[in-house]
Amino acid sequence: MAKLGENRYGKSRVRLSRITRLSDRHEFKEWTVHVMLYGDFETSYTQADNSKVLPTDTMKNTVYYVARGSQAETIEAFACELGDYFLSNQPQVAKVSIEVQEKAWQRMTVDGAPEATTFKMGGPELQTAHAERERGSGWNVISGVDGLTILKTTKSAFTGYIKDKLTTLKPAADRIFGTRATVTWEYRAATPDYTQVRARTLAALLKEFAGHDSMSVQHTLFDMGKAALAAAPEIARIRLSMPNLHHLLAELSPFGLDNPNHIFVPIDEPHGTIEATIER
């Protein structure tokens, strides 16, 4: 006999741009919102009864409705505000999960001065927030960044690894280190200043990456996480996923040329993937 197990449903990739029009400048945000609801929906699966189902199209409209009146300045705050709306207005919902991604729009500088209403894309990365709350409980918020693309042309080596009959990789004392990192962090503070924590965390990660004398991706990943924890006491733990995006030395000897670490071939696939959580 079949029975329904864990289930949820929602609306994905609700795209939203928001302009806050201040007297001297505009603020611009571009978000993508994902909504998932958990609760008393069993009869919609087992009895074709939709009486407790909020249409996902209504969820989309709710995103825009809440955004219209929202004073939230961070994606974390908006995620919690949106989730609270669903819990307050849908008694059949027992738990809500909201994810928000923010594109890296930055104010443009023209002739050395910030331009009040013009923006440029700062990079490919997305700022992320994931907020979950069960009815009767508090919010669990995880912040992060996805697609943090960084590269260093020195201070990176890889030696001393296992060599067996299938090993063809040559030791490298000075190599390119490139990655497209995904980073998330959990809070131990109940109501952190999300903007300040994000700024300090990312600054610490980037500073450590730039200055680190890396003996492996693992070595740098751990020290980056350790630096982030030191910079942001509000964080309980931080998780990093860092694919090793290789740049292989091009073989120029058939053309009578040397190649003193000058010309490389970028290789994204296949790539090594290194992941770890650094905790207090």
Residue 38 has pLDDT above 90, yes or no: yes
- The tokens describing 272, both together, are 């090594």
State how far the Cα of 183 lies from the Cα of 197, in Å rounded to an integer.
13
- Catalytic one of 43, 52, 56, 152: 56
- The tokens describing 73, both together, are 């300045």
Q: Tell me, yes or no, if 153 is annotated catalytic.
A: no
Q: Mean of the pLDDT values across residues 47-70?
A: 97
* Of 126, 236, 227, 104, the residue nearest 182 (C-alpha): 126
Q: Classify domain 148-279 at the CATH class level.
A: alpha beta
CATH topology of domain 9-138: Urate Oxidase (3.10.270)
| Inter-axis angle of helices 56-69 and 75-89, nearest 10 | 120
> What is the model's pLDDT at position 268?
87
Q: Tell me, yes or no, if 56 is annotated catalytic.
A: yes
State how far the Cα of 137 lies from the Cα of 133, in Å rounded to an integer.
6
Q: Which residues contact 247 (CB under 8 A, 6 or more apart)?
A: 175, 176, 178, 264, 265, 266, 267
What pTM was computed for the model? Answer: 0.93
> What is the model's pLDDT at position 278?
98
The CA–CA distances, whole Å, from 111 to 107, 119, 262 equal: 13, 14, 35
Residue 138 has pLDDT above 90, yes or no: yes
> What is the model's pLDDT at position 81?
98
Q: Tell me: the pLDDT tens digits for 175-209?
A: 999 999 999 999 998 889 999 999 999 999 999 99
- The tokens describing 149, both together, are 């693309």
- In the chain, where the domains are located: 9-138, 148-279
Asked if the domains 9-138 and 148-279 are classified in one and the same CATH topology, the answer is: yes
User: How sure is the predictor about 210, in pLDDT bands with cuts at 50, 70 and 90?
Assistant: very high
Q: Tell me: the pLDDT tens digits for 224-271?
A: 999 999 999 999 999 999 999 999 999 999 999 999 999 999 998 999
Q: 231 φ, ψ to 5°?
A: -80, -25
> What is the model's pLDDT at position 83?
98
> What is the model's pLDDT at position 190?
83
User: How sure is the predictor about 15, in pLDDT bands with cuts at 50, 70 and 90?
Assistant: very high
Q: Tell me, yes or no, if 117 is annotated catalytic.
A: no
The CA–CA distances, whole Å, from 15 to 32, 51, 98, 143, 173 equal: 4, 28, 14, 19, 45
* Of 72, 6, 1, 89, the residue nearest 33 (C-alpha): 72
User: Tokens 């630096």 label which residue?
Assistant: 227
Residue 217 has pLDDT above 90, yes or no: yes
Q: Tell me: the pLDDT tens digits for 74-132?
A: 999 999 999 999 999 999 999 999 999 999 999 999 999 999 999 999 999 999 999 99
Q: Mean of the pLDDT values across residues 125-152?
A: 97
> What is the model's pLDDT at position 189?
80
